[in-house]
């Protein structure tokens, strides 16, 4: 039964191969069908394995395919780890991925590179499956890098659009920074433990690093850099908003269900070694809450419907990091799952809005779409409510628990809780700002809005249902995960629960007042806090700072090397070698004058020289 | 018994041949110089053969003569061809192989 899990790798890679090798010769229908069905097969296989695991013993199984490298004491098997954590991740990736693929069939209609889109989407799913199914750090890094590569393809899908190409490059560079960190971290672990499989590393880390805690701290921090880069956490977060340049289904795939969750997955998977270094756990919490708060404030002022959602993704990932850093791994994965549902829903319904307005993304040019796109509106509304943590929606169960934990856990406290709850408030303000500006009031655009057709709406409805009911089986979920990761029972606190219910409502009310009722006052407020507004609009000038600190110096060094060092020094040296040979050759050709007698003279001189040197040598030896 | 006289004579003939080869411009005379050199070597070989009571030197001298005869044939043929083309046998005017 467990061999079925191989289909999660075989199906997407076959889909990728078929579509990539076909060039663009398949019709849209055929390409869309192949692309979607391959992910569908992967999902079915995962589902069967899930049932197998639930009805069976829940025990992790390692499926060893073959021995790949065997050098000295080092053995590396190509193996797959099937346990409750990887199955949950696979369910999210392939389930949401499948829905997104179906949606794309209609959304990408009429695109020139239709096959290329689906082939890269399949590659992406494959990479993600490699990442979560790996049983060792080696294939984790392989999957990690493959995800970075395929995200590069997808973000830069519109190759003729300059900004998209730049965004893809930025995402790739940021991710490679993380990849390098991970690689070095894994190498440190290998240096001390002598194996890269999870089983060995987790069981031996405690003893292997007993005398050298600093090395373990380094290894964990370096792994964490990889997690931060993939999950768009401060300070490697700047690629995520720019990645909105890709098509909307790509945004949904990358930023909801798959790529950005890899960092959270890594922390949860490796929690055994992270827990050995308490400082690192504190850093995870700190960076998580910082990113969460920062992203929420930026989300307040953005005008691009997708970018607002992108910032909310960063913010929610921050929550997951907080939960993971505090030791509530099941909660982090639970929020990851509910987030995957409602964030995919939000992105896809935003895509439906954009599709209906022929590519318009600026919420200042929308408005009043409630009547014109009713189904999209309700789906967007459900997604937004779930994101805010409105009671009885999926987001409520996961997010409210994280906020409670931030107060109740040992490392938590007032400060952490305050930022968490304030971020939750901001989340509902910016989310509903998005909703109100898009769907309420007068229509301000020039395109003629129309509702999308059923191929787009059915995936929306499926995701909407999941976004509502996704949070109901929380205790079962924790128990299921407890076979793989350490699970702590979530604390309960009635007062915190009540505050957690009121705050989103207050946020929604504030947004209603600001963006529907008193829009004039909001304008005045914006004018009054212009510098703050501009700072937020410019993402706290991070891009500017990075540009000045990293990009400009590198460009200057490049200019120096390219325009001064290379022509003046390197080229000069090469030229000198040539000039020397040329000079030497000129001198020698002068001697070769073609006259027999001068050659003869040279031959005789040479003969005399040789004979006399032999003669001399003999004499020296004899004396 | 050392035939020093023979070796000195051979050396003198060799030197005459070398100098002749280097200073004369007429290819025929240059050929003669070459022959002179070869024969000086033959003389030396035979001198040594007699001195060492060995027949090797004599055999060698015969081989040298054979080679010299063959070489003269080829060399004279070349000179004739060059003369036909250039209408002159001045060796300094034949310098097409200069670098």
pTM comes to 0.78
Give the model's pLDDT for residue B99.
60
Residue A605: closest CA among chain B residues belongs to which residue? B18
- pLDDT-derived band at A125 (thresholds 50, 70, 90) equals very high
A586 touches chain B (CB under 8 A): no
Percent of chain A with pLDDT over 90: 11
Q: Show Cβ contacts of residue A480 under 8 Å, excluding neighbours closer than 6 positions.
A: A54, A58, A84, A88
| A34-61 mean pLDDT | 86
CB burial string A235-269: b at 16+ within 10 A, e below: ebbbbbbbbbbbbbbbbbbbbbbbbbbbbbbbbbb
Residues A340-369: what's their mean pLDDT? 84
Mean pLDDT of chain A: 86
Mean pLDDT across A488-511: 84
pLDDT at A622: 63
| Cα angle, residue A4 at apex, residues A148 and A49 outer, rounded to 5° | 90
Residues in Cβ contact with A576 at an 8 Å cutoff, skipping those fewer than 6 apart: none
Contact, A589 vs B83, CB < 8 A? Answer: no
CA distance A573 to chain B (A): 27
Q: Does residue B1 have a pLDDT over 60?
A: no
Q: Residue B41: pLDDT above 90? A: yes
Q: Measure CB to CB from residue A593 to each of B18, B21, B95 and give the nearest one.
A: B95
**Cβ–Cβ gap A596/B25 under 8 Å:** no
For residue B23, the enclosing domain spans: 4-88
Structure tokens at A308: 């607002």
Q: Quick check: A596 contacting B, CB < 8 Å?
A: yes
Please answer yes or no on whether B92 and A592 come within 8 Å at the CB atom. Answer: no
Look at residue B9 and tell me if it is in a domain.
yes
pLDDT of residue A575: 92
**CB within 8 Å: B94 and A594:** yes
Mean pLDDT (whole number) for A186-212: 84
In a domain, B94, yes or no: no
Per-residue model confidence (pLDDT) at position A495? 83
Contact flag B99-A592 (C-beta cutoff 8 Å): yes
Residues composing chain A: 623
Q: If you write DSSP's letter for every residue of A542-573 in order, what string do you get? A: HHHHHIIIIIHHHHHHHHIIIIIIIIIIIHHH
Query: Given pLDDT bands bounded at 50, 70 and 90, which one contains residue B62?
Result: very high
Of A589, A596, A600, the CB nearest to B94: A596
Answer whether A601 sits within 8 Å of B22, measured CB to CB. yes
Instruction: Read off the pLDDT of residues A541-597 as tens digits, 9 standing for 90 and up.
Output: 888 888 888 888 899 999 999 888 888 888 899 999 999 999 988 888 877 777 888
Contacts of B18 in chain A (CB under 8 A): 604
- The ipTM is 0.82
Local structure of residue A112 (DSSP, 8 states): T
Give the end-to-end CA distance of chain B in Å, rounded to a whole number: 51
Minimal CA separation from B26 to chain A, in Å: 11
Which pLDDT belongs to residue A280? 85
Q: What is the pLDDT of residue A123?
A: 92
Question: Per-residue pLDDT for B88 more than 90?
Answer: no
Residue B97: inside a domain: no
Residue A91: count other Cβ atoms within 10 Å of its Cβ.
17
Contact B21 A589 (CB under 8 A): no
Highest mean pLDDT among A106-115, A232-241, A317-326: A317-326
Contact by Cβ (8 Å): A268, A316: no
The 10s digit of each residue's pLDDT in A158-184 is 888 888 888 888 889 888 989 999 999
Say if the Cβ atoms of B25 and A597 lie within 8 Å.
yes
**CA R_g for chain B:** 17
| Cβ contacts of A590 on chain B, cutoff 8 Å | 99
CB-count exposure of residue B44 (10 Å: 0-12, 13-18, 19+)? buried
Query: How does pLDDT run across B63-77, given as a tens digit for each residue?
Result: 999 999 999 999 999
Identify each DSSP E strand in A74-157 by its residue range: 74-82
The secondary structure of A315-349, three-state, reads: HHHHHHHHHHHCCCHHHHHHHHHHHHHHHHHHHHH
What per-residue confidence (pLDDT) applies to B61? 92
Nearest alpha carbon to residue A186 among A210, A219, A215, A161: A219
Sequence-distant (6+) residues with CB within 8 A of A525 are: none
What number of C-beta contacts closer than 8 Å exist between A and B?
34
Nearest CB to A596; choose among B18, B91, B99: B91
Using a CB–CB cutoff of 8 Å, tell me whether A592 touches chain B: yes
CA proximity to B21, closest of A287, A391, A275, A598:
A598
Q: pLDDT tens, B8-31? A: 999 999 999 999 998 988 888 988
Q: What is the pLDDT of residue A370?
A: 78
Per-residue pLDDT, averaged over A231-247, amounts to 84
Distance from the B23 Cα atom to the nearest Cα atom in chain A, whole angstroms: 8
Phi/psi of residue A593, nearest 5 degrees: -95, 5
Are residues A595 and B95, on separate chains, in Cβ contact within 8 Å?
Answer: yes
- Check CB contact under 8 Å for A597 and B96: no
Q: In angstroms, what separates the C-alpha of B1 from chain A's closest C-alpha? A: 23
For the record, the structure tokens of A102 come out as 């179906």
> Does A601 reach chain B within 8 Å, measured CB to CB?
yes
CA distance B47 to B82: 38
DSSP designation for A491: P
To the nearest whole Å, the CA of A574 is away from the closest chain B CA by 25
Buried b / exposed e along A371-407 (16+ C-beta atoms within 10 A): ebbebbbbbbbbbbbbbbbbeebbbbbbbbbbbbbbb
CB contact under 8 A, B96 and A594: yes
Which residues 77-106 in chain A show a CB within 8 A of chain B?
none
The pLDDT tens digits of the residues spanning A439-469 come to 887 777 777 777 778 888 888 888 888 888 8
Residue located via tokens 């020289």: A609
Q: What φ, ψ does residue A320 adopt, rounded to 5°? A: -60, -40
- Chain A: give the shortest CA distance to residue B58, in Å: 23
User: What is the per-residue DSSP string for B3-64?
Assistant: -HHHHHHHHHHHHHHHHHHHH---HHHHHHHHHHHHHHHHHHHHHHHHHHT-SHHHHHHHHH
Both tokens assigned to B31: 């050929």
Quickly list DSSP for A198-248: HHHHHHHHHHHTTT-HHHHHHHHHHHHHHHHHHTT-TTS-THHHHGGGS-H
Q: Is A594's CB within 8 Å of B25's CB?
A: no
Judged by a CB distance cut-off of 8 A, whether residue A587 touches chain B is no
Q: Which residues does B contribute to its contact with A (CB < 8 Å)? A: 18, 21-22, 25, 30, 91-92, 94-99
Q: Is A390 helix (H, G, I), strand (E, B) or coil?
A: coil
The pLDDT-based confidence of A494 (bands split at 50, 70, 90) is confident
Q: How far apart are CA B49 and CA A161, in angstroms?
A: 94
From residue A484, give the alpha-carbon distance in Å to each of A179, A199, A243, A280, A329.
25, 12, 33, 21, 10
Q: What is the mean pLDDT of chain B?
A: 88
Structural contact between residues A198 and A77, judged by C-beta atoms closer than 8 angstroms: no
Count of domains forming chain B: 1
CA distance A590 to chain B (A): 7
Q: Do B98 and A592 count as a contact with CB atoms less than 8 A apart? A: yes
For A336, residues 6+ apart whose C-beta sits below 8 A from its C-beta are A92, A261, A264, A265, A320
Give the pLDDT score at A398. 86
pLDDT at A623 over 70: no
Looking at residues A390-401, what average pLDDT do you find?
Answer: 85
Cβ distance of B21 and A588 shorter than 8 Å: no
* Collapsed DSSP state (helix, strand, coil) of residue A62: strand
Q: Where are the alpha helices (DSSP H) in A440-551?
A: 454-469, 474-481, 494-512, 519-528, 530-537, 542-546
CATH value at residue B48:
1.10.287.3510
């Amino acid at each position: 039964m467990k061999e079925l899990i191989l289909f999660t790798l075989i199906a997407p890679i076959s889909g990728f191969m078929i579509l990539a090798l076909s060039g663009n010769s398949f019709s849209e229908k055929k390409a869309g069908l192949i692309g979607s069905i391959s992910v569908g097969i992967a999902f079915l296989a995962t589902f069967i394995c899930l049932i197998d695991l639930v009805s069976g013993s829940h025990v992790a199984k390692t499926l060893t395919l073959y021995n790949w490298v065997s050098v000295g004491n080092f053995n590396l098997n190509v193996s797959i780890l099937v346990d409750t954590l990887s199955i949950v991740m696979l369910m999210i990736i392939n389930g949401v991925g499948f829905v997104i693929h179906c949606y794309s069939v209609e959304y990408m209609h009429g695109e020139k590179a239709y096959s290329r889109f689906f082939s890269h989407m399949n590659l992406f799913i494959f990479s993600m499956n490699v990442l979560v199914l790996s049983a060792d750090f080696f294939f984790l890094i392989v999957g990690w890098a493959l995800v970075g590569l395929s995200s590069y393809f997808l973000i830069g899908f519109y190759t003729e659009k300059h900004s998209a190409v730049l965004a893809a490059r930025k995402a790739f560079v940021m991710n490679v920074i993380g990849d390098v960190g991970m690689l070095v971290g894994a190498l440190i672990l290998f240096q001390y433990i002598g194996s890269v499989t999870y089983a060995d590393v987790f069981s031996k880390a405690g003893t292997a690093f007993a005398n050298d805690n600093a090395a373990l701290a380094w290894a964990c921090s370096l792994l964490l850099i990889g997690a931060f880069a993939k999950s768009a956490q401060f300070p490697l977060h700047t690629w995520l908003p720019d990645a909105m340049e890709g098509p909307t289904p790509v945004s949904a795939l990358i930023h909801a269900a798959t790529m950005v969750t890899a960092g959270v997955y890594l922390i949860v998977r490796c929690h055994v070694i992270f827990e050995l270094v308490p400082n690192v756990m504190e850093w995870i919490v700190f960076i998580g809450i910082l990113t969460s708060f920062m992203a929420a404030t930026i989300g307040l002022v953005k005008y691009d419907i997708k970018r607002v959602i992108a910032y909310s993704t960063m913010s929610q990932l921050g929550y997951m990091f907080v939960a993971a850093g505090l030791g509530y791994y099941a909660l982090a994965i639970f929020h990851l799952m509910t987030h995957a549902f409602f964030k995919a829903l939000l992105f896809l319904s935003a895509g439906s809005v954009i599709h209906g307005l022929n590519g318009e993304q600026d919420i200042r040019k929308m408005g009043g779409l409630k009547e014109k796109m009713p189904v999209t509106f309700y789906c967007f509304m459900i997604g937004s409510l779930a994101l805010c943590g409105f009671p009885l929606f999926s987001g409520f169960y996961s997010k409210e628990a994280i906020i409670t934990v931030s107060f109740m856990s040992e490392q938590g406290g007032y400060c952490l809780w305050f930022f968490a709850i304030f971020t939750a408030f901001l989340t509902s303000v910016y989310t509903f700002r998005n909703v109100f500006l898009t769907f309420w009031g007068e229509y301000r655009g020039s395109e003629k809005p129309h509702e999308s057709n059923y191929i787009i709406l059915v995936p929306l409805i499926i995701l909407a249902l999941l976004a509502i009911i996704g949070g109901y089986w929380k205790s079962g979920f924790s128990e299921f995960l407890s076979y793989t990761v350490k699970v702590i029972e979530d604390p309960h606190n009635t007062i915190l629960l009540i505050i957690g219910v009121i705050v989103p409502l207050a946020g929604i009310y504030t947004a209603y007042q600001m963006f529907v009722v008193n829009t004039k006052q909001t304008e005045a407020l914006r004018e009054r806090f212009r510098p703050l507004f501009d700072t937020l609009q410019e993402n706290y000038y991070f891009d500017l700072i990075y540009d000045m600190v990293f990009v400009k110096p590198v460009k200057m060094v490049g200019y120096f090397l390219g325009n001064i060092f290379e022509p003046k020094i390197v080229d000069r040296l090469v030229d000198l070698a040539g000039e020397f040979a040329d000079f030497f050759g000129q001198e020698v050709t002068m001697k070769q004058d073609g006259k027999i007698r001068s050659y003869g003279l040279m031959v005789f001189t040479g003969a005399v020289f040789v004979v006399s040197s032999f003669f001399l040598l003999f004499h020296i030896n004899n004396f | 018994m050392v035939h020093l006289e023979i070796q000195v004579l051979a050396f003198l003939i060799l030197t005459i041949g070398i100098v002749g080869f280097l200073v004369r411009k007429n290819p025929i005379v240059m050929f003669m110089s070459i022959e002179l050199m070869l024969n000086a070597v033959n003389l030396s070989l035979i001198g040594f053969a007699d001195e060492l009571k060995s027949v090797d030197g004599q055999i060698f001298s015969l081989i040298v003569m054979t080679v010299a005869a063959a070489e003269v044939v080829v060399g004279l043929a070349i000179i004739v061809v060059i003369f036909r083309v250039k209408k002159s046998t001045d060796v300094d005017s034949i310098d097409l192989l200069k670098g």
